[in-house]
Chain A
C-alpha cells in the first residue's frame, strides 16, 4: 500500500523527509453522527520528530510511530494527530523535554518525543 511505503521510507531515511501524500479530507462530523470517515492516523503524513522542533514553536501532531505501549500512553495524554504542541524547554542536562499540549505541561524524554511527528503551521 502506498501509505505504508511512504512511512517506511520515512523511517529508513531517518529524519529525511519522505514524500508526503496529500492530507486526507475528513468529513465534517458531529457528536451524534453514526458514520464517519476513517480517521487520519496514517503515518503517510511525515513531519519532523518533536525533539527537533525549536523551543517555543507551536506545531501540529501528524502521526505517532513507535513502541505501542509508549504511543498509547502519549495518545491517552492527549498527544493525538491534529493536536497542537509546543516544546517549552529542556531539562538542565538537555533531556527530558517539557512539552505543552492541550493546555497542560508534559515531561517527555527525547526518545519518546522522537515517536511524535509534527508539522509547523507555515510549513
Chain B
C-alpha cells in the first residue's frame, strides 16, 4: 500500500472559509509557523501580522511565545483573520532543547489555552533546501495539514538553483508556495493554500520507509495499540505509526508498564542487527529528502549538497571575518562600538529620563500640599517609575545591536571566534556577548542570555553576569578614589586611582571565572555542551525585525521586571521614611535618601545641581536626623557589629541598605547621613570633605584608605541591585535563583571585604 495517495478528509472544519460573519464569531483558524532558525520565519511573521502581535512566555519556561493576527481579504472581498502562533526556530521536533519541546507541545495541542493548530506553515529557505526539509518531513509525520512557504527564492536563483515549486509540492505531498515577505509576494497564494489545507484537514504522513525489519516492528507496535489501516482508516493508521515511531526511537521508554516492555523488546531486536539502529529514521528522512529535492531542483552548477559547488559571498566575507588575525580584531572593534554605545551614548537619554522624573517629582511637591502621601507619590512612586524607565535606553540600544548582529549572521561568527576561550571557563561561545554587555549594565546583559540554548549554561552565565563591574559602580569607585587616592601616583608614573579602578574590574572578572568554574562543577554540573552551531549566510538586516525585537524586549522589561523594581523602591522608601520623628513638616528640598537615589538609578554621574537648589544647612541636618531615626537608620545600627570587621560603621550600613535600590545610591545616602544635602555628587568637594572628616565615636577617622578599598571590594562582589534581582527572577521564572544569587554574592562580598580589611591591617595599612 502507498501512503502517498491524496489525503482523505478525516476532519471537516466546522468553520468553512466561505461562511459569513466575522472571523472572531467563527473562532477563526489557528495556524502555527514553524521553521529553521534563519529561514526567514520572523520576516514572514512580521509581514503577515504587521503590528498585530503580542509576545509572552510559555507557562513555566522562558521560551518566547509569539502570537499574531493575520487579517486579509478573501476572494469575495470579505476580511477574515487567522491566529498565528510563531514557534521558536527549530531544526527538529525531537525535543533536544526546550524550544523543540515547546514546539512539539504546541503542535500536539498540549499547551494551556492554546488549541492545536489547524494548519502548520513550514518556512523553508530555498538556499538551504535539504536541511530545511528535515523539519518538514517531521511535520508531515505529525499528520497535521502542512503548507510550505518557500523563502529566499531570489537568493537561490542568484546561486544558480532553480526550484520547481510544483514538482517539490508533488514530491512532498504538501502545497509549496514561494513567498517574498518583504515585497509581500505570494501571501495571497499562501492564504489560499492554508485554507485549502485546513479544509482537507489531514497531512500526508511520512513519505519514507525504513528497512523491512524496522517497518515490521512499527506495524507490530501500531497493531499492539489496536489500530489497523483496514479497521480505523488512513488517518488513524498514520497517527498510530507516528506514535510507534516516536516511542521506538526515543531515548526514553514510555510511562506505561506494558508498553515499556513491548518497546524494550523491539529495541533489542533491532539493536541486535546494528549498533546504530536508532539512526535509521534520520538517514531514511534525508534519503527521502534527497530524492524529493533531486526531482525539483535544477542546479546550473553541480548537485546541491555537493561540497564542490561554488564558494559564495559568505565564504569570501568569512575569509576576513573569521580569519586567524583579522577576525578577532574585527570582533574587538565591533565589541568596542557596542560597549561604547551602551556605556556612554546611552547616558544622554538616561540623563534626560532621570531629570524628567526628577522634575516631575518636584512639580508634584510644588503643587500638592506636603504630607506623607505626597512623599510617597514623589519619592516612592514617581522615583520608582523613573528608576524603571531609566534602563530603557541601554536595553533598546543593546538589543538594537544584538538583533542587528543576529540578523546579519555575525553573531554566530562571534560565538565561533570566542568559543575556545569561553569553553576554558566552562561556558558556551554564546555567553560572550551577554557578559560583555554586563559591563555597562547587567540588566540587558542578562536579558541577552536567551540566545544560549542549554539551560545550565544560560543559568551559569546569568549568575556570574553581575560580577562584571557595571556603570552604576563607577560613582562609588569615583567617590572613594577622589576622597583617598587622588593625586597619588604609583612609582611616580600611573595614577593610583586608575590602578585601583582597573583592579576592581579585574577582580570582578576573576571572581566570575572562578564562580563559573565552581558552578559548572557543582550545582550546574553537566558534560561540556556540544557546539553544533549553524554559521548562516550573511544577509542584509531587516529593520522591521530589529524594531520588533527592540519593542518586545523593552515591553518585557517594563512589564515584568518593572513591577518588581517599583515595589522594592516603594519598600525602600518606606524603610528610610518610617517611623517619622516629631520633626516639623519638611520643605521640598529635604527628601529622603532613596527617593533621590532611585531617580539616579543607572546613571553613572550627574552634573552639579543647579545653583539655588542647595538645601540650607539646617534642612540638611533635619534630613540626616530623619534618616538616622528611620528603620534603615536603626538597621544600620543593628548591622554595625556585623560589618565592623569589614571596617564599616553604622552610617555606611545605612548606605549599604539603601544602595540595594541601585549601587550609586550609596553616594546620595552618604551625603544625607553626613548632612551635606541630598544633591551632592561623587565629585562634590563638600561630600568628599565630609567623608574625609567623618569620625567614629572614639574620635578616630571613620574612613581610611583601607576602608575605602574594602568598601569598593564589597561593591564589586555584592549584588546591590534590585533591578538585577527582578530581571533574574523574570528570566529564570523562579525566586530561587535570584535569592541564591543575592545570597552567594553577599557571602563572597563579605568574605572578600573581611580579608581585604583584616589582611590590610595585618600588613600594616590603615
CB within 8 Å: A-B pair count: 191
Compute how far the CA of A78 lies from the CA of B534 in the bound complex, rounded to whole angstroms: 11
Residues of B near A73 (CB, < 8 A) are 91-92, 96, 530, 532
| B284 and chain A: residue at smallest CB distance | A39
Q: Is the CB of B277 within 8 A of A31?
A: no
| A92 and chain B: residue at smallest CB distance | B324
Q: Is the CB of B283 within 8 A of A106?
A: no
Q: Say whether B555 faces chain A, with CB atoms less than 8 Å apart.
A: no
| A57 and chain B: residue at smallest CB distance | B307
Q: Is the CB of B209 within 8 A of A35?
A: yes
Residues of B near A70 (CB, < 8 A) are 530, 532
Q: Which of A75, A98, A104, A112 contacts B279 (CB under 8 A)?
A: A75
A31-B288, A76-B282, A83-B286 known; A101+B209 contact, CB < 8 A: no
Chain A nearest CB, measured from B99 CB (Å): 13
Q: Say whether B685 faces chain A, with CB atoms less than 8 Å apart.
A: no
Q: Is the CB of B305 within 8 A of A31?
A: no
Q: Say whether A38 faces chain B, with CB atoms less than 8 Å apart.
A: yes
Interface string of B200-223 (1 = CB under 8 A from A): 000000010111110100000000
Chain A nearest CB, measured from B440 CB (Å): 26
Q: Which of B276, B323, B328, B536 contacts A64 (CB under 8 A)?
A: B276
A38-B211, A83-B305, A85-B307 known; A92+B328 contact, CB < 8 A: yes
Interface residues of B in 273-287 (CB under 8 A from A): 273-280, 282-284, 286-287
Compute how far the CA of A86 lies from the CA of B311 in the bound complex, rounded to whole angstroms: 12
Q: Is the CB of B307 within 8 A of A101?
A: yes
Interface string of A61-76 (1 = CB under 8 A from B): 0011100111111111
Compute how far the CA of A16 lies from the CA of B421 in the bound complex, rounded to whole angstroms: 31
Chain B residues with a Cβ closer than 8 Å to the other chain, count: 72
Chain B nearest CB, measured from A66 CB (Å): 10
Compute how far the CA of A89 lies from the CA of B306 in the bound complex, rounded to whole angstroms: 18
Q: Is the CB of A102 within 8 A of B211?
A: no
Interface residues of A in 49-105 (CB under 8 A from B): 58, 63-65, 68-78, 80-86, 88-89, 91-96, 98, 100-105
Compute how far the CA of A78 lies from the CA of B293 in the bound complex, rounded to whole angstroms: 14
Q: Say whether A108 faces chain B, with CB atoms less than 8 Å apart.
A: yes
Compute how far the CA of A76 lies from the CA of B138 in the bound complex, rounded to whole angstroms: 11
Residues of A near B415 (CB, < 8 A) are 107
Q: Is the CB of A106 within 8 A of B275?
A: no
Q: Say whether B491 faces chain A, with CB atoms less than 8 Å apart.
A: no
Q: Which of B304, B315, B417 contacts A92 (CB under 8 A)?
A: B417
Residues of A near B213 (CB, < 8 A) are 38
Q: Say whether A3 faces chain B, with CB atoms less than 8 Å apart.
A: yes
Residues of A near B210 (CB, < 8 A) are 39
Q: Is the CB of B530 within 8 A of A41?
A: no
Q: Say whether A43 faces chain B, with CB atoms less than 8 Å apart.
A: yes
Stretch from B108-116, B128-136, B178-186, B479-487 that touches the partner? B128-136
Interface centre among B210, B307, B530 (most CB of A within 10 A): B307
Q: Is the CB of A41 within 8 A of B277?
A: yes
Residues of B near A20 (CB, < 8 A) are none
Compute how far the CA of A15 lies from the CA of B277 in the bound complex, rounded to whole angstroms: 23
Q: Is the CB of A96 within 8 A of B531?
A: yes
Residues of A near B209 (CB, < 8 A) are 33-36
A38-B213, A65-B276, A75-B282 known; A103+B419 contact, CB < 8 A: no
Residues of B near A89 (CB, < 8 A) are 322
A31-B291, A78-B130 known; A103+B304 contact, CB < 8 A: yes
Q: Is the CB of A77 within 8 A of B131?
A: yes
Compute how far the CA of A41 lies from the CA of B270 in the bound complex, rounded to whole angstroms: 13
Q: Is the CB of B532 within 8 A of A106?
A: yes
Q: Is the CB of B305 within 8 A of A103?
A: yes
Chain A nearest CB, measured from B537 CB (Å): 7
| A76 and chain B: residue at smallest CB distance | B92
Q: Is the CB of A58 within 8 A of B287?
A: no
Q: Say whether B251 faces chain A, with CB atoms less than 8 Å apart.
A: yes
Q: Say whether B420 faces chain A, with CB atoms less than 8 Å apart.
A: yes
A31-B288, A105-B535 known; A80+B417 contact, CB < 8 A: no
Q: Is the CB of B288 within 8 A of A91?
A: no
Residues of B near A109 (CB, < 8 A) are 419, 423, 530-531
Chain B nearest CB, measured from A57 CB (Å): 9
Interface string of B215-249 (1 = CB under 8 A from A): 10000000000000000000000000000000000
Chain A nearest CB, measured from B136 CB (Å): 13
Compute how far the CA of A108 lies from the CA of B529 in the bound complex, rounded to whole angstroms: 11
Q: Say whether A122 faces chain B, with CB atoms less than 8 Å apart.
A: no
| B212 and chain A: residue at smallest CB distance | A35
Q: Say whether A32 faces chain B, with CB atoms less than 8 Å apart.
A: yes
Q: Which of B92, B274, B323, B530 contacts A3 (CB under 8 A)?
A: B274
Interface residues of B in 285-340 (CB under 8 A from A): 286-288, 291-292, 295, 304-309, 314-315, 318, 322-325, 327-328
Residues of A near B25 (CB, < 8 A) are none
Residues of B near A71 (CB, < 8 A) are 279
Compute how far the CA of A83 lies from the CA of B304 in the bound complex, rounded to whole angstroms: 11
Q: Is the CB of A107 within 8 A of B276?
A: no
Q: Is the CB of A80 within 8 A of B282?
A: yes
Chain B nearest CB, measured from A62 CB (Å): 11
Residues of A near B251 (CB, < 8 A) are 68-69
| B304 and chain A: residue at smallest CB distance | A103
Chain A nearest CB, measured from B133 CB (Å): 10
Chain B nearest CB, measured from A27 CB (Å): 11
A37-B211, A80-B286, A91-B419 known; A68+B278 contact, CB < 8 A: yes
Compute how far the CA of A100 lies from the CA of B304 in the bound complex, rounded to whole angstroms: 12
Q: Is the CB of B96 within 8 A of A69?
A: yes
Interface string of A13-30 (1 = CB under 8 A from B): 000000000000000011
Q: Which of B277, B416, B537 contacts A98 (CB under 8 A)?
A: B416
Compute how far the CA of A111 lies from the CA of B278 in the bound complex, rounded to whole angstroms: 21
Q: Say whether B1 faces chain A, with CB atoms less than 8 Å apart.
A: yes
Q: Which of B211, B275, B283, B530 contacts A81 (CB under 8 A)?
A: B283
Q: Is the CB of B534 within 8 A of A77?
A: yes
Chain A nearest CB, measured from B290 CB (Å): 8
Q: Which of A35, A102, A107 contacts B305 (CB under 8 A)?
A: A102
Interface residues of B in 535-562 (CB under 8 A from A): 535-537
Compute how far the CA of A84 lies from the CA of B327 in the bound complex, rounded to whole angstroms: 27
Q: List 7 A-B pairs, minimum CB-CB distance, nearest first.
A: A93-B420, A38-B211, A105-B535, A86-B307, A75-B282, A76-B92, A107-B533
Binding site for B on A (CB under 8 A): 1, 3-4, 7, 29-43, 58, 63-65, 68-78, 80-86, 88-89, 91-96, 98, 100-109, 111-112
Sample 15 A-B pairs with CB under 8 A, ordered by A number.
A4-B275, A35-B212, A36-B209, A38-B211, A38-B213, A70-B530, A72-B279, A91-B417, A91-B420, A98-B322, A102-B128, A102-B304, A105-B314, A105-B536, A107-B419
* Besides the known contacts A80-B286, A108-B531, 10 further A-B residue pairs in the complex with CB atoms under 8 A apart: A1-B272, A30-B291, A39-B210, A69-B251, A73-B530, A92-B325, A103-B130, A105-B536, A105-B537, A109-B531
Binding site for A on B (CB under 8 A): 1-2, 4, 91-92, 94, 96, 127-128, 130-131, 134, 171, 207, 209-213, 215, 251, 272-280, 282-284, 286-288, 291-292, 295, 304-309, 314-315, 318, 322-325, 327-328, 412, 415-417, 419-421, 423, 429, 528, 530-537
